[in-house]
Amino acid sequence: MSTIVTLLIAVLAGVGLAGFMAGQSDKRKNILLWSAGGVLWSLTGGTAVFFMKSAVREIALRRMPGIEKVHNMLPEIAIPDALMVHFGVWTVVSALIVFLLVFNCRRNSVRWYWAILWISGLLLFFNSIVFMPYCYGLAAWLTFAGIQDKDIFQPVNSHLLTFYLMWFFALTAVAAWTFHTCKAAKHSWKNILIFTGICTVLLSLLWLSAWGMSAWADGTVDRKAAELGITPCRVEDTPGKNPELYKFYTRHPKYNPPRSGRYNWRKNEIPSDEKEYTMKFFDSPELENHLGLLTKNIEHLRRKDVLYLSTLQDFRSLVRHRADKAELYFRSGKTEKVLPELLKYPELEKLIPDDTFLISELVRAATRHLWVEALVQFAPDGKQYADTYRRLLKWSFSWRIHLPHEAGLCLGMPVETSANAAVRFFYAPYRKALRYRVFFDALDRIPELEKLQKQETFSGNDIYSKAAANQQQMIALGRTAFALKLYRAEQGEYPAELAELVPKYLPRVYCSGGKELSYTVKDGDFTLSSGRRSVSSRR
């Protein structure tokens, strides 16, 4: 059992005992003393929880599947003080609620064992209120009102607000009950039953109102989607994945090409026996069969209604392998095979539809950079290849920044995936309200994304601004690199400055992040860079 859980049990047990002793005492002095002890113990527990960052980190790591054996190799997780303040406050408020519940149950019960039964039942009842607030409709109303989920490490977000409101409800309810208990002339189990009934009715009304709202919201989403022609999309794993894909590296552990392997070829880190094996195996029918299986698998990318995450990874793997083969052809002196191998990429990229998922566009930009880098380094530069580079340059002018709004993905959000029928039933209002909010937020974002796609600079720190900057950077580098290769094929050398490419090859010198691309030429090779991303013809 973790340290923080042990502490919480000790705090709740301590305040529970204090509440029980205060509830059974008839002397005001003893009641006040036990009450002061309970409050002091709850404050001490909350303060102790605030300083237990390492325990919180251990709990977070244990919740990550498969991380148990390697978590010591991970960098230290920074737990902000703001989050620990929340944990401390939750501990204090929870302890006070437990104290008041125990006090009232003991005060209104003649026999101690009846008091314990009432205490157990009400603690379970209030535990469900506090720790499962999404069942009771409050979260549905907050979500419908537009209070969006943010990073859990931010000081306030909708999750925290929901929990705080439920805490406030519970604390207010038991405080009012305590006032009635202290003022009532006659103490009876009927007070417990009335209190429980009032809380149940209020929570039921809250859930029913959320259910009605969510039913309307769900219908509104479907009507709007039908009006705009937006179809549901979903995220899934790739169906029918060939097991042979997983066995490839098991059968060939010595195959370690420059990009897909474990070693840095430029620094000559690869062992000689594995280098020799790789140079012999890279042009074998078995490797080509493996690449054929990957190509068949990434056909799933054509679908616009399903995002297969593992297929995107297979796409990246296939592009790396093709770039590896091109480099190994170059290293083995088969330079005539380099360009045909690299020219397979444009056809592969056509498998990724435009304007589907943001992650697909990021994968497109990443693989495009990998391919351009290999082409710049290893593709030949003779005059006979000028038409090829001219076609590639023309193709690059069709590249655009794509920022999909993903409303279809929001539309395909499952209402509730739990196998438990009761959980699906009670959580339905929240899920439907969340579906409504994210869908209409996606629609509201469309004009902003259209404007963002046309900008020259991106100063925002949100995911869309970062994605746009990433794509713009790759477009500028790739297009300029093709122009440089074409210039070299026609002129015999690279230009001294990028301005020499204008206007014959490029309409202007491209910028990324508001600054012109950095360009240097040395010993017949060039380096083109923008921020942390660069393309170089040096091998």
Alpha helices in 108-228 (DSSP H): 112-131, 138-144, 158-183, 189-228
Q: What interhelical angle do 81-107 and 158-183 show, nearest 10? A: 30
pTM beyond 0.85:
no
For residues 440 and 221, give the distance between their C-alpha atoms in angstroms, rounded to a whole number.
Answer: 8
Q: Does residue 349 fall inside a structural domain? A: no
Give a yes or no: residue 159 inside a domain: yes
With 0-12 / 13-18 / 19 or more C-beta atoms within 10 angstroms meaning exposed / middle / buried, residue 171 is middle
CB-hemisphere CA count at 13 Å for 317?
A: 21
- Hey, how many other C-beta atoms are within 10 angstroms of the C-beta on 413? 19
Q: What angle do CA 186, 189, 195 make, to 5 degrees?
A: 100
Within a domain: 166? yes
In a domain, 16, yes or no: yes
Q: How far apart are CA 289 and CA 309, in angstroms?
A: 22
SS3 307: strand
Decide: 509 and 502 in contact? Cβ < 8 Å.
yes
CA dist., res. 68 & res. 454, Å (int)? 46
**In a domain? residue 111:** yes
The answer as to whether 175 is a domain residue is: yes
* Closest by Cα among 287, 262, 289, 288 to 275: 262
Cis peptide before 232, with omega less than 30 degrees from 0?
no
Domain range for 91 is 3-201
SS3 of 479, please? Answer: helix
* CB-CB contact of 225 with 405 (8 Å): no
Residues in the chain: 539
The per-residue pLDDT for 183 is 80
Strands 525-530 and 533-536: antiparallel
DSSP state of 111: S
Confirm whether 333 is domain-assigned: no
536 strand-pairing partners: 527
pLDDT one digit per residue (tens) for the chain, 539 residues:
577 778 888 888 899 899 889 888 888 888 889 989 989 999 998 888 888 877 776 666 665 544 444 444 444 556 777 778 888 888 898 889 889 888 988 888 878 888 888 888 888 877 776 667 677 788 888 888 776 544 333 334 556 677 777 788 888 888 888 888 888 766 777 888 888 888 888 888 988 999 999 999 999 999 999 999 888 888 877 666 667 777 888 888 899 999 888 888 888 899 999 999 999 999 999 999 999 988 888 888 888 888 888 888 889 999 999 999 999 999 999 999 999 999 999 999 988 888 788 899 999 999 999 999 999 999 998 899 999 999 999 999 999 999 998 888 888 776 655 557 777 788 888 888 888 888 998 899 899 999 999 888 888 788 898 899 899 999 999 999 999 999 999 999 999 999 999 999 999 998 887 788 899 998 888 999 987 788 888 87
**In a domain? residue 426:** no
As given in the structure block, the two tokens for residue 34 are 């036990």
Q: What are φ and ψ of residue 475, in 5° steps?
A: -65, -45
Q: Helix 3-24 vs helix 53-62: angle between axes, to the nearest 10 degrees? A: 110
**In angstroms, what is the C-alpha Rg of the chain?**
32
Tell me the C-alpha distance between 99 and 150, whole Å. Answer: 33
- Give, rounded to a whole angstrom, the gap between the first and last alpha carbons of the chain: 55
- Total domain count for the chain? 1
pLDDT number for residue 488 = 93
Place of tokens 């005001």: 28
pLDDT number for residue 504: 92
Stated as kind and residue range, the H or E segment containing 60 is helix 53-62
